[in-house]
Copies of this chain bind each other. A is one copy, B any other.
Amino acid sequence: MSPNRLEAFSDGVFAIAITLLVLDLHVPEPHPGGDLAHELATQWPSYAAYVVSFLMIGIIWINHHAMVRRLATVDHTILVFNLALLLSVGILPFTTELMATYLKETDGQSLAAAIYSGSFLLMSLIFAAMNRHILFAKAHLLSTPLDSDQRRLIITRGITGLVPYAVATALAPVSPYITLALSAAIGVFYALPVASAPEGTYS
C-alpha cells in the first residue's frame, strides 16, 4: 500500500476525532431565572479538556505526517501499528468527556484524570513504538536512508517525550487539576514555534 493512502485514511480519522470532540460540549438546559453565564462558567472543565485534546490530536497529526513521509511503501505490520494508533486517537472524545465530567467530582476525579492523560500517554507510546519499528525493523522501506545516529536521535527524543505524559498521569492521584494543567502545558509547548515539534520530540 502506498503511504499516501495510509495518510489519507489516517487524516480522515484525525479530522473526525478532532471535530467530534465538540459533542463533549453540552448546551445548558434553559430554565426561567437561570444564569447562563454562570452555567457556562461552571463548564470550564469541558472547555479546558476540549482545547487540550484538540491540541493533542493536532500535534499527533503533524508528527504522523513526518513519520509516514519517510516511507516509500507500507507493509502489513505498519498498517496494524497504524490501526492501533488510530484506535488510541479514536477514543479521545470519550476520555475527554470522562475528564470533563469528573474533574470537579469528589469521587472518581483522580481515576478520570489518570485515564485522560493516560490516553495521551498510550497514544504517544504507540507512536514511539511504531516509529521505532519503522526506523529499525523496516529501514529498507524508507524513501531516503537515515544513518543510525539520526535514527537513534529520533527514537531517544520520542522516548524522552513520553516522560511528561507519564508524570501527568502519575500525578492524577495527587490532583487532577495538576494533570490537566500539565497536559495543557505539554500541548502548548509543542505548539510553540521554538519547540517546533520535530516529530521524534513529540512522542
Q: Which of A98-106, A122-130, A150-158, A165-173 contacts B (4 or more CB under 8 A)?
A: A98-106
Contacts A27-B98, A65-B1, A107-B34; is A13 near B13 (CB within 8 Å)?
no
The answer to whether B91 and A30 touch across the interface, beta carbons within 8 angstroms, is no
Asked whether, in the complex, the Cβ of A13 is within 8 Å of the Cβ of B23, the reply is: no
> Is A164 in contact with chain B by the CB < 8 A criterion?
no
Residues of chain B within 8 A (CB-CB) of A112 are 36
* Known A-B contacts A34-B108, A62-B1, A83-B58; A16 and B16 likewise in contact (beta carbons under 8 Å): yes
Tell me the interface secondary structure of chain A in the complex. Answer: helix
Residue A177 CB within 8 A of the other chain: no
Chain B contacts of A5 at CB under 8 A?
A: 7, 11, 65
Q: Indicate whether A180 reaches chain B with its CB closer than 8 angstroms.
A: no
A80 to B, closest residue via Cβ: B191
Contact of A94 among B9, B13, B22, B31 (CB under 8 A): B22
A-B contact pairs, 11 of them (CB 8 A): A5-B11, A9-B15, A11-B12, A12-B12, A13-B19, A27-B94, A33-B107, A34-B108, A54-B83, A58-B83, A76-B196
Report which A residues bind B (CB closer than 8 A): 1, 5, 7-9, 11-23, 25, 27, 30-37, 40, 50-51, 54-55, 58, 61-62, 65, 76-77, 79-80, 83, 86-87, 90-94, 97-98, 101-102, 105-108, 111-112, 115, 191, 193, 196-197
Q: Which 9 A-B pairs have the closest CB atoms?
A: A36-B108, A12-B15, A16-B19, A58-B83, A25-B94, A30-B105, A76-B196, A80-B191, A27-B97
